[in-house]
Amino acid sequence: MKTTNFKRTLLTPIALGVLLASTSVMATEKQTDVEQGWFVQGDIGQAKSYGQRNVYSDLRMSEKRRAWKASTGYRFNNNFALAFNYADLGMVEDFANRGALESIAGKATGLSGIYNFPISQRVNIHAKAGYAHFSGRNNRLSNGGHAWNRTSDNAPFYGAGMSFDLTQNLSLMVDWERYKFDSVTDVVSTGLRYTFGSIAKPVAKPAPAPVYVKPEPVVQPKPAPVPPKPPVIELKPLQVNLYFDNDSSELTHETLEILSQAKSQLVNDRIDTIDVAGFASAVGNSDYNQALSERRATAVVEYIRQNWNIESGKVSVVSHGEDMLQNDSNLNNSRDRRVMVKIKFN
């Protein structure tokens, strides 16, 4: 009965793996495994030891028993990996010739390097080698009582196996390992390995470098001759006189017409300065006439600034009062009630 249960335990992962593999193959034929990353693996199997008769003369050391393993490691690429292993090598029991029941149990921990060789898109074979530490316990029950002692050993181990990629992360593993302790122990097992990560996307090959074709020399056309700059036409200063009613600084209709005509003759981008001068007649108080001439000049300047679109800094204003009379007769003084606007161009 024990043998039947053990075989069932050993074959169940294989049957499950084959079922999963069939489903996976039907789903996609292009799926591969993760080639780089951390992995964990669990196995269950059968251990068989070959003891030295001069040490264990009363035990059948070739007896088979159940074993299990756990390991973790890192895959550097699709060929090389490093793993830390733990193996429970099971227990051997037998009645000694002297009527005593003796048992030997042991565990092994070690570090191994693994070389993987793909033989198809999903099937791989691998070989491994490493070094392990054995820790065991020897128990004896007899009519005289119970006795036990611990034992340990360090030795190399090696092995080989196959794997089948069920998915990109999960693989079915079948392994054989041999531990070279005082008693040589073989372990045959099957299990599952899970590799963390995802499949690296293929890197597109760079496009071939374009073939360099030396271009034909291009004859540059001669530049067109630069047209000569147009001659600068000298603009003569423009001067207008604006006349006002007696004792008034308001712009008359006639004055506005003159200013409008003067504006039409302007070349705005060439205006240099605009000088505005106010005058008054000699009739009345001279101080009053001085202020009146200033109001007349200011009225003209305000009009120019609002209607001619001229920069304020180009306009200057001055008032002369009755200092520069054009007519000595008080009876005919209309020519003195004026504002003179002089425009200079650059």
CATH number, position 257: 3.30.1330.60
Task: Characterize the bridge pairing of strands 315-319 and 271-278.
Answer: parallel
pLDDT in tens, 42-96: 999 998 877 544 444 444 444 567 899 999 999 999 899 999 999 998 765 444 4
3-state secondary structure of 48: strand
Assess whether 254 and 322 both reside in one domain.
yes
Name 256's Cβ contacts closer than 8 Å, sequence gap at least 6.
Answer: 303
Q: What is the predicted pLDDT for the residue at 332?
A: 60
3-state helix, strand, coil in the chain (%, to 5): 20, 45, 35
Smallest Cα–Cα separation from 39: which of 2, 76, 93?
A: 76
pLDDT band, very low/low/confident/very high, at 153 (cuts 50, 70, 90):
confident
Asked whether residue 270 is assigned to any structural domain, the reply reads yes
Domain boundary among 195, 226, 247: 195
Q: Which domain holds residue 254?
A: 238-345
Q: Are 11 and 44 in contact (CB under 8 A)?
A: no
Domain boundary among 163, 195, 227: 195
pLDDT in tens, 318-341: 998 888 887 655 556 788 899 999
Asked whether residue 219 is assigned to any structural domain, the reply reads no
CATH of the domain at 87: 2.40.160.20
The tokens of 230 are what?
């147009």
Q: What is the predicted pLDDT for the residue at 209?
A: 86
The torsion angles phi and psi of 94, rounded to 5 degrees, stand at -165, 155
Assess whether 262 and 134 both reside in one domain.
no
Asked whether residue 181 is assigned to any structural domain, the reply reads yes
In the Cβ-directed half-sphere of 316, how many Cα atoms lie within 13 Å?
8
Pairwise CA distance, residues 70 & 238, whole Å: 109
> Pick the residue with more confidence: 101 or 337?
337
Task: Characterize the bridge pairing of strands 37-50 and 271-278.
Answer: unpaired
pLDDT in tens, 114-134: 999 999 989 999 999 999 998
Assess whether 79 and 187 both reside in one domain.
yes
The torsion angles phi and psi of 196, rounded to 5 degrees, stand at -80, 145
Assess whether 284 and 172 both reside in one domain.
no
Asked whether residue 314 is assigned to any structural domain, the reply reads yes
Count: domains in the chain: 2
In the 8-state DSSP scheme, what is residue 98? T
Assess whether 9 and 149 both reside in one domain.
yes
Q: Are 49 and 87 in contact (CB under 8 A)?
A: no
Assess whether 48 and 120 both reside in one domain.
yes
pLDDT band, very low/low/confident/very high, at 226 (cuts 50, 70, 90):
confident
Asked whether residue 212 is assigned to any structural domain, the reply reads no
Assess whether 247 and 158 both reside in one domain.
no
Assess whether 21 and 129 both reside in one domain.
yes
Asked whether residue 49 is assigned to any structural domain, the reply reads yes
Assess whether 255 and 157 both reside in one domain.
no
For 280-305, give one letter per residue: b (16+ CB within 10 A) or e.
bbbeeeeeebbebbbebbbbbbebbe
Alpha-carbon distances of 162 from 26, 60, 95, 115, 222, rounded to whole Å: 21, 31, 38, 11, 79
Q: What is the predicted pLDDT for the residue at 54?
A: 43
pLDDT above 80 for 296: yes
Domain boundary among 134, 163, 195: 195
Pairwise CA distance, residues 175 & 161, whole Å: 4
